[in-house]
Amino acid sequence: MGSSGGTIKMSVFGAIMALLQFVNPAVASEDYYTGNETDRLALLEFKVAISSDPFGSFSSWNDSSAHFCKWQGVTCSTRHRGDRVAVLDLRSLKLSGSISPHVGNLSFLTKLLLNDNGFTGLIPPEIGSLGRLQHLYLSNNSLTGGVPEALGRGLKNLQVLDLYLNDLSGEIPAPIFNLSLLRCLSFSWNHFHGALPWNLGILLPKLQNFAVYANEFTGSVPASLSNASNLVALQLGYNRFTGRVPSMASSRNLRYLMIDHNSLGSGDDDDDDDLGFLSSLTIASRLDILDMSHNNFGGTFPEQVANLSTRLRTLDMGSNRISGKIPSGMRNLIRLQLFDASSNNLSGKIPWSIGNLQSLESLDLSYNKISGSVPLSIGNLSRLVLFSLGGNRHLDGEIPVSIGNCSKLIFLDLSDNNLRGIIPLEVMSLTSLSRVLNLSRNGLTGVIPAEVRNLKNLGSLDLSHNLLSGEIPHSMGSCLGIEVVNLRENLLQGSIPDCLGVLRGIQRFDVSVNNLTGEIPDVFQDMKFLQLLNISYNDLEGEVPRRGVLKNGSIILVAGNSRLCGGVPELELPPCNFKGLKKAILSKKWKIVIASTISSMLFLTLIVIFWIRKRGKQGSVADDDSKLQLSYQRLLKATNGFSTTNLLGTGSYGSVYRGVLTENGTTIAVKVFNLDHRGAFKSFLAECEALKNIRHRNLVKILTVCSGVDRQGNDFKALVYELLANGSLEEWLHPVERADEPPKSLSLSFRQRMNVAINVASALDYLHHQCETPIVHCDLKPNNILLDEDKVGHVGDFGLARFLRSSDDNPCTTSLTSSTIGIKGTIGYAPPEYGMGNEVSTQGDVYSFGILLLEMLTGRRPTNEIFEEGLNLRTFVQSALSQIPFPTEALDPILLNELRLRQISKEIVIAVLKISVACASESPQERPSISQVLARLKNPHFPNHI
Ligand SMILES: *[C@@H]1O[C@H](CO)[C@@H](O)[C@H](O)[C@H]1NC(C)=O
Ligand SMILES: *[C@@H]1O[C@H](CO)[C@@H](O)[C@H](O)[C@H]1NC(C)=O
Ligand SMILES: *[C@@H]1O[C@H](CO)[C@@H](O)[C@H](O)[C@H]1NC(C)=O
Ligand SMILES: *[C@@H]1O[C@H](CO)[C@@H](O)[C@H](O)[C@H]1NC(C)=O
Ligand SMILES: *[C@@H]1O[C@H](CO)[C@@H](O)[C@H](O)[C@H]1NC(C)=O
C-alpha cells in the first residue's frame, strides 16, 4: 500500500497514544511544616545533577528561600512526623542532566514524575529503595542502559511504570513482573529484547495497559493473557513475536489491541486456528482499534468479524495471508473508519453492503484476488479519503460513476485490474484528489477527459497501460500540483502540448509507447525538478531540447523515434540539418553562424519592409523615432552594459532595461528577448507583427527594432520602446519597498483608477474592433499597463498577442495565427477556457480586463492565497455584492478611506464592481464586449460622481 495509508495509520496511532496517556495524579498543595534534613539534602543533590533548566524551575530550590516543601514541583506529605517529600513532579520542564541517585533517599516518595524532559544517563538503581513508590514516570527522555533489577525488589507498591520512548535496552529483569500491583506497564519505543514470561497474565492480575510497542521482543504472546480480565490496551506491535495469539475471552474491557508488525500466525491458508482469537474478541464490547497487520496470519476471513464491537473504528488486517471473502455481515461495523485488508489472499466479490460503512475514511483492499465489479454503493462512502483496489487483477466492469460522490478522496488507486469502459468524468471531477489517481494497467478506452483540469492539486496521475486514445488534453496544464505524469503504453496521438510548461513541479513525465507526433516542446528544459522524461517509442520528430535540466542526458529517454535529431551527445542522435529559418536563428553553433546571419538579414528586411509599407500607407506618428537606428553597441552603452541596476523587470521571454541615449538624453525601455527560450522568438515575431501596424494613444509606442549579434556572437533581438515616467500599474497597486530607495507613497485615487480603466478599455476596443485584423492581447495584467507622466494608461507587452483568422491572411500573419493558444497568458488573469485549450478570443481579453478591474478596486491579486477551492477574486466580489449592506472592507483600503471621507459614493463603486464581475464571467458568452464596457464606463450619467 502507498504511504498514504501509512500516514492515516500513524495519525490513528498518535490519537491512541494520546488516549493512552496515563492519568497523572493531581498534585495537592500542602501546608508549611518544618522539614526533614535528609529530604532537603537529597533534593539539593537532585538539583546539582540538572545541567539545563531553561524555565528556571529550580531557581526556588535554594537554602535561603522557603522550606523545601514550597519548592517548585515538590509536594510534602502531612501524615508523617516532620515533612517528607511525597511527590516530585517535574514533568515537561525541558530539563536535562542525569537523575541523581540521591533521589533514592526520598524514602516517603509515592510519585516520581520526570517524564517529557531530556534526562540522560542511567536509571539509578537507588530508585529501587523507594518502597512507597506507586507511580514512576520516566517516559519521553533519553535514558540509556537497562532497567535496574532493584526496581523489581524495593518497589512492591508500584502501580505504574512508564519507560515509554527512551533509549533503554537489555532484557526486562524478571522481578519486574512480580510487582503484582502493576496496572500500567509501558516499555514501548526502546530497544528491549528477550521473551515475555508465559505467566504474565497471572503474575500481573491488575494489568490494564501493557505496552511493549516498537522493541525487539521475541517469543510468543503470553498465553496467560487470556486471564487478564482487566486489560484495556495491549500493544505488542513492531516486535518479533511468533506463534499463535491466545484467546482473549476474558478481556471484556479491551479497547486497543495492537499486535501488528510481528511474525504471528502459521501462515498456513488452511489453518483457521490462526484467527481463532478474533472470535474471542467479540466479548470486548468496547473494542476500538484492532491492528493485526503485517504478520503471518493464515486461514479464512472469519464471519465472526461481523460480530465485533460496533464501536470498532480501526480494523487493520493488511499484509497477512488471509483467504476467503469479505463477509457481508461487516455492514454491522457502522463506526469503522479504517478498514485495511490489503495484501492478503482474499477472493470473491466486494459485498454491496460495504456501502453501509458510512464512517469509512480509508478502505484498502488492494493486492488480493478480489473479482467482480466495483459496487456502485461505494458512492455512499462520502467520507472516504483513501480508496484502493489496486493489484487485484480480477476486478472487471466499469469504474462506477458514483465514485464522484466520494468528494473527500485524496487517494484513488484502481490500478492493475481488468476494468473496461471510459474514464468517467466524475472521477476527473474529484477536485479533492491531491495525492494519487492511479488507473493504470486496466483496459480503459476513450480519451483522457478534458475535466482532468479539475485535478489542480493532484500530485501523481498514472493512466499508463490502458487503451486510451485521442490527444493529451491541453487542460492538463491546469494540474498545477502535478509531479508525476505516467501515460505510457496507450494509443495517444497528436503532439505533446506546450502548455504543460506551466507545470513546473513535474518530476517524472512518461508518455512512452504511444503514437505521439510533432516536436518535443522546449518547456521541459525549464522544469527544474525533472528526473525522468520518457518519450521513447513514439513518432516524434525534430531537435531534442538540450538546455536547462535536459543538459543531463541521462534523464531523457528517446529510443524508438526515428525522426529525432540533436540533443546532448549522450543520446547519440544524428545531428540536425537546419533547414528551417527558426532553427538557424535559435542555434548558437558556429557552423551555422553564416546561415544565421543570412536569415537574420532576411528577417530584418521583412521588418523594414513592413515598416516602410506602413509608413507609406498611414504616415507614421513615429516618423522621427523610426529613423533611430540603434545597434547592439548603442543599446549596450545606453543601458550601461545591460547592468542589473538598469533592469526594470524580467518577463516570460526576456528582460526589460531602462536606457538613456547618450546623444539626446532620450530615455528608453529596451526589451531583450532571451532566445534560449524557443517561445521567445515567436514572442518577438508576435510583438513586432502586432506593433508594426498599430497606433493608439493608449498603447505603448515602439521606437525601433534591434536585431543583431551580441559580444559573444549570439543572436540578439530587442525591441525599444518609449519609457513611460510612472512605471507599471503593478507598482502602483502593489508597491514594494526597496532597500535602495526611500519608500514611495504610491497610491491612485478612485478617479485615477477609473481613468486608467478607461484607457485600457479604449486600447482593447481599438485592438479588437478597429484594426484591420482583430488582435487579441492575451496577457493583460497590471505589469503590462504602463503609466505616463500624467498617469495615462498605456497597454504594452504584446509578446503573446494573436491575430484572429481573417479572410485576407497574409503569409506573415498566418504563421502567427495559431488556432489554439500554446501559452496561456498569466495565471489568474487568463480566462478559464484557455486552460481547456480553447481558441483565443476577444472575450478572453475581456475576462482579463474584468480581473484587472477587480484587482484595481479590491487591491487583491487574483493569485492571493485566500483564493482557493472555488473561491476566486470574482466569486469573492460577487458574494460581497450579494450582502446587504455591502461590506466595504472588501475594497482597497485607499478607496475605503475615500468612501469614509465621502469623496466617492458607494453606488458608483458597486456599479463598477458589477461591470467587472460581468467581464470576469466563467462563460465567454456571458461577458460583454469591450465596446459595451467602454461605453458604460464613459457614459456621463453612469460615473456622475467621478
Ligand atoms: C543518601 O543516602 C546515602 C546512604 O544510603 C548517603 O551516603 C548519602 O549521603 C545520602 N544522601 C543525602 C543527600 O543525604
Ligand atoms: C531563592 O529562591 C527565591 C524564590 O523562592 C528567589 O527569589 C531567590 O532569587 C532565590 N535565590 C537564589 C540565590 O537563587
Ligand atoms: C528524617 O528522615 C530520616 C530518614 O527516613 C529519618 O531517619 C529521620 O528520623 C527523619 N527526621 C525527622 C525529624 O523526621
Ligand atoms: C516529549 O516531550 C516533549 C517536550 O516536553 C514534547 O514536546 C513531546 O511532544 C513529547 N513527545 C511525546 C511523544 O510525548
Ligand atoms: C498512429 O497515428 C497515425 C496517424 O497519426 C495513424 O495513421 C496510425 O494508425 C496510428 N497508429 C496506431 C497504432 O494507432
Best residue among 36, 105, 107, 130 to mutate for probing ligand 3, ranked by most atoms within 8 Å of CB: 36
Question: What percentage of the chain has pLDDT greater than the value 90?
Answer: 50
C-alpha cell at 126: 537507588
Strands of 762-874, DSSP E: 775-776, 785-787, 793-795, 802-803
467 lines ligand 5 (CB under 6 A): no
Among the listed residues 44, 22, 36, the one whose alpha carbon sits nearest the alpha carbon of residue 184: 22
Give the pLDDT confidence score for residue 487 in this predicted structure: 97
CATH code that applies to domain 8-165: 3.80.10.10
Beta bridge partners of 160: 135, 184
Between 97 and 939, where is the model more confident?
A: 97
Strands 233-235 and 209-211 come out as parallel
**Ranges 162-171, 628-637, 682-691: which has the least confidence:** 682-691
Confirm if 483 and 506 have CB atoms less than 8 A apart.
Answer: yes
**Amino acid identity, position 645:** T
Between 153 and 90, where is the model more confident?
A: 90
Best residue among 62, 67, 69, 74 to mutate for probing ligand 2, ranked by most atoms within 8 Å of CB: 62
Query: Kindly report the CA angle at 69 between 64 and 74, in degrees rounded to 5?
Result: 115
* Ligand number nearest to the C-alpha of 42: 1
Work out the pLDDT band at 897, boundaries 50, 70, 90.
confident
Work out the pLDDT band at 778, boundaries 50, 70, 90.
confident
Domains 8-165 and 196-346 share a fold: yes
Strands of 236-284, DSSP E: 242-243, 256-258, 263-264
Domain ranges of the chain: 8-165, 196-346, 585-723, 728-737+747-946
Q: What value does the mean pLDDT of the chain take?
A: 82
Dihedral sign (CA 443, 444, 447, 450)? negative
Q: How far, in Å, are 90, 123, 358, 616, 935 from residue 57 at the CA level?
A: 9, 22, 50, 90, 74
CATH code that applies to domain 196-346: 3.80.10.10
Q: Show Cβ contacts of residue 835 under 8 Å, excluding neighbours closer than 6 positions.
A: 453, 474, 475, 477, 478, 824
Q: Residue 685 half-sphere exposure, CB side, CA atoms within 13 Å?
A: 20
Between 759 and 685, where is the model more confident?
A: 759
pLDDT tens for residues 787-800?
888 888 988 876 66
- pLDDT at 587 > cutoff 90: no
Work out the pLDDT band at 693, boundaries 50, 70, 90.
low
Q: Which atom of ligand 5 is nearest to the CA of 469?
A: 14
Strand ranges across the sheet with 216-218? 169-171, 191-195, 216-218
Rounded Cα distance, 307 and 59, in Å: 58
What's the CATH superfamily of 728-737+747-946?
Transferase(Phosphotransferase) domain 1 (1.10.510.10)
Q: Which atom of ligand 1 is nearest to the CA of 44?
A: 13
Q: Which atom of ligand 3 is nearest to the CA of 83?
A: 14
Q: Show Cβ contacts of residue 406 under 8 Å, excluding neighbours closer than 6 positions.
A: 378, 379, 381, 382, 384, 387, 430
* Ligand number nearest to the C-alpha of 515: 5
Give the pLDDT confidence score for residue 297 in this predicted structure: 95
405 lines ligand 1 (CB under 6 A): no
Rounded Cα distance, 59 and 66, in Å: 11
Q: Which atom of ligand 2 is nearest to the CA of 70?
A: 5
C-alpha cell at 2: 502507498
91 lines ligand 4 (CB under 6 A): no
Q: Is 402 left (phi over 0), alpha (psi -120 to 50) or beta?
A: alpha
Query: Distance between the two ends of the chain, CA-based, in angstroms?
Result: 64
* Ligand number nearest to the C-alpha of 539: 5
pLDDT tens for residues 460-503?
999 999 999 999 999 998 888 899 999 999 999 999 998 888 88
Work out the pLDDT band at 5, boundaries 50, 70, 90.
very low
Neighbour tally for 14: CB within 10 Å: 10
- pLDDT at 874 > cutoff 80: yes
Between 898 and 509, where is the model more confident?
A: 509
- pLDDT at 735 > cutoff 60: yes
Q: Does domain 585-723 have CATH number 3.30.200.20?
A: yes
**Radius of gyration, alpha carbons of the chain:** 37
Ligand 4: residue whose CA is nearest its atom 12: 140
- pLDDT at 599 > cutoff 60: no
CA of 117 relative to ligand 4 center, distance in Å: 8
Strands of 793-884, DSSP E: 793-795, 802-803
116 lines ligand 4 (CB under 6 A): yes
Give the pLDDT confidence score for residue 106 in this predicted structure: 93
Neighbour tally for 172: CB within 10 Å: 26
Confirm if 98 and 121 have CB atoms less than 8 A apart.
Answer: yes
Confirm if 466 and 446 have CB atoms less than 8 A apart.
Answer: no
Say whether 671 counts as a known binding-site residue: yes
491 lines ligand 5 (CB under 6 A): yes
Give the pLDDT confidence score for residue 27 in this predicted structure: 29
Average pLDDT of the segment spanning 926-941: 82
- pLDDT at 833 > cutoff 80: yes
Between 840 and 191, where is the model more confident?
A: 191
Rounded Cα distance, 714 and 886, in Å: 58
Ligand 2: residue whose CA is nearest its atom 14: 59
Q: How far, in Å, are 445, 466, 560, 895 from residue 492 at the CA level?
A: 11, 10, 16, 53
Ligand 2: residue whose CA is nearest its atom 7: 60
Which residue has 537489555 as its cell numbers? 170
63 lines ligand 2 (CB under 6 A): no
Give the pLDDT confidence score for residue 621 in this predicted structure: 29
21 lines ligand 4 (CB under 6 A): no
Of 779, 797, 845, 892, the catalytic one is 779
Three-class SS of residue 761?
Answer: helix
The counts of H helices and E strands in the chain are 20, 47
Confirm if 848 and 829 have CB atoms less than 8 A apart.
Answer: yes
Three-class SS of residue 596?
Answer: helix
493 lines ligand 5 (CB under 6 A): yes
CA of 105 relative to ligand 1 center, distance in Å: 6
Q: How far, in Å, are 233, 262, 279, 671, 862 from residue 244 at the CA level?
A: 19, 11, 14, 77, 61
CA of 16 relative to ligand 4 center, distance in Å: 15
140 lines ligand 4 (CB under 6 A): yes
Strands 411-413 and 96-98 come out as unpaired
The percent helix, strand, coil of the chain (3-state, each to 5) is 30, 20, 50
DSSP letter string, 438-453:
E--SSEEESB--GGGG
Give the pLDDT confidence score for residue 310 in this predicted structure: 95
Give catalytic status of residue 779 as yes or no: yes
Give the pLDDT confidence score for residue 864 in this predicted structure: 80
- pLDDT at 31 > cutoff 50: no
- pLDDT at 627 > cutoff 80: no
C-alpha cell at 499: 502548455
pLDDT tens for residues 740-769?
554 455 688 888 888 899 899 988 888 888
- pLDDT at 42 > cutoff 90: yes
Which residue has 484513488 as its cell numbers? 412
Rounded Cα distance, 464 and 456, in Å: 20
Best residue among 116, 141, 142 to mutate for probing ligand 4, ranked by most atoms within 8 Å of CB: 116
Query: Kindly report the CA angle at 827 between 834 and 935, in degrees rounded to 5?
Result: 70
Rounded Cα distance, 934 and 911, in Å: 14
Q: Which atom of ligand 5 is nearest to the CA of 494?
A: 5
41 lines ligand 1 (CB under 6 A): yes
Give the pLDDT confidence score for residue 803 in this predicted structure: 57
